[in-house]
Amino acid sequence: MHLLQKKILDLAGHMNLGQFTLRGIGDLVGEKSAQKIKHHLSQLEKRGLIRIDHANRVIEKRQQGQVSGLLRNAKLIAIPILGSVNAGPATLFAEQNVEGYLKVSSTLLGGKTKGKLFALKIVGPSMNRSSVDNKQIEDGDFVIINSEAGNPKDGDIVLSVIDGMANIKRFHRDKQNEQIVLASDSSYDFPPIHIHETDDFIINGKVVQVIKKRTGSW
């Protein structure tokens, strides 16, 4: 077996390489050529050593017909997409109609599969310095919301709905001034939103995971 194929196969045994671009996989195995990575992935697939699901961005290692590594007990979860949410000023409605389903491996959710989950697509850059599990929240990404996460704690990243408008912000409770502050974490200068506890707003859930938009090409 080619050395690069062995390295790729070893990595596929304990991580989902589908979350990386070809260049990203190359960085992991020390190969700069994306075309060589594509070739060796194809060869491994032809030999039945891995399975590549391009639609769901999953690369699985096969061993005696079974999926091995962390994906052995993984399953695809269909999470309803309820529209887009503005990560900047609260100017977009949170759509209540299901627009489709985001198919996500339970491995990517990191065990955060309990509770009522739904997905929203991020529009805007105002949370681009925030991260969940070391994944930044950037324009075009999907965030997974747990609407049954309970009362937010100070510093949680939450989905709030203010006068029917939805936004993703970091939650802070300012007891001294009897207000709630919804703050941005951004490379841009977005002012925080200040709300009194009696105002017309709800916390509709907590961000528990980020599903990154696809970058690069295969």
98-154 pLDDT tens trace: 788 888 887 778 777 777 899 999 999 989 999 998 899 999 999 999 988 878 999
Q: What are phi and psi of 18, to 5 degrees?
A: -65, -20
The full set of domains in the chain, from first to last, is: 3-71 (1.10.10), 76-211 (2.10.109.10)
What digits encode the pLDDT tens for the residues 7-60? 998 888 878 888 788 888 999 999 999 889 989 998 888 887 887 876 556 777
Q: What are phi and psi of 67, to 5 degrees?
A: -80, 130
The reported pLDDT for the residue numbered 217 is: 52
Q: How far is the CA of 57 from the CAs of 53, 73, 95, in angstroms? A: 6, 17, 26
* Whether pLDDT at 69 is above 50: no
Q: Bin 205: left if φ > 0, else alpha if -120 < ψ < 50, else beta.
A: left
- 3-class DSSP assignment, residue 3: helix
Integer Cα distance of 99 and 156 in angstroms: 26
**pTM here?**
0.63
Integer Cα distance of 186 and 130 in angstroms: 8
* Whether pLDDT at 176 is above 60: yes
Going by C-alpha positions, the residue among 116, 126, 122 that lies closest to residue 92 is: 122
In angstroms, the first-to-last Cα distance of the chain is: 23
* Whether pLDDT at 208 is above 90: yes
Give 157 or 75, the one with higher predicted confidence. Answer: 157
H helix or E strand, kind and range, residue 24: helix 22-29
* Whether pLDDT at 179 is above 70: yes
Integer Cα distance of 100 and 107 in angstroms: 21
Integer Cα distance of 177 and 167 in angstroms: 23
The reported pLDDT for the residue numbered 66 is: 43
Most confident of the ranges 74-78, 96-100, 114-118, 212-216: 114-118
The reported pLDDT for the residue numbered 92 is: 63
